[in-house]
Amino acid sequence: MSTPLPHKVSPGNPCPFLRMLVAQGLLDDRRASIGDATEVIERVAATGEGAPQLPGIAIRLIALLANGLGPASLLDNGIHGVKLNQLRDGPFDKRGAGSRILDKRARVRPAELERLREFASLKATAGGGREWGLDAAELQAMMDANYARAGATRRVVDRQLMEGEWPILLQVMGKEGRDGRYLSLREVRALFEARRLPARMARRLCTRAWPGCRARR
């Protein structure tokens, strides 16, 4: 049985998690109603270890503001939905002050992806193995370094926006190791390069008989 090809994702969507949802056919790249986007994100997040619960009200607010803060944009998003293909340069785009793993055309920069290892360490898995990963403290160190290297182009809000990215990814995709929760670098790489969920999460999603799921082994 052949593996279905991923859906195309616009370069105008710079968020790796949302890019994965579009690629897997869980959200439309053009328009997603705020209700649908909230439901999908909540349901996918709940497949993570410990069934993480993301606040629906926060997701709705972010979706409402994602394409612009002007009255016309807010009204359009509220009525017609968020445009995932027009998030770049929007209110939540850090514009080069973040990880820089994706360039302006949403292509992966291998050197920036490999740079994550500078902040990571070997983690003891729950099953007794070891793998490279980033825990909460290491993510904070990485985000501080990202903010510092942005130099004169950085904005105060950029550091605040980072708290809505990597720490949330840790909450959703994190694995429980012997010494606490961490992000697997292998799974982060798959998120950016292949735009797919960790296999353990994809299996749980499909086990719940969601028509849009794509389990990948």
**Block means of pLDDT (10 residues each) for the chain, length 217 residues?**
70 96 95 96 96 95 96 96 96 93 96 98 95 98 97 94 96 96 98 96 79 51
| pLDDT at site 207 | 73
Beta strands in 89-217, from DSSP E residues, in sequence order: 121-124, 130-134, 175-177, 180-184
CA angle, residues 58, 98, 65, in degrees to nearest 5: 30
List 35's β-bridge partners, or say none: none
Give, in order, the Cα–Cα distances in Å from 173 to each of 61, 71, 77, 81, 184.
Answer: 22, 34, 28, 26, 8
| pLDDT at site 195 | 96
Structure tokens at 171: 């909450």
The reported pTM is 0.90
| pLDDT at site 2 | 42
Q: How far apart are CA 19 and CA 207, in angstroms?
A: 22
| pLDDT at site 213 | 59
| pLDDT at site 208 | 62
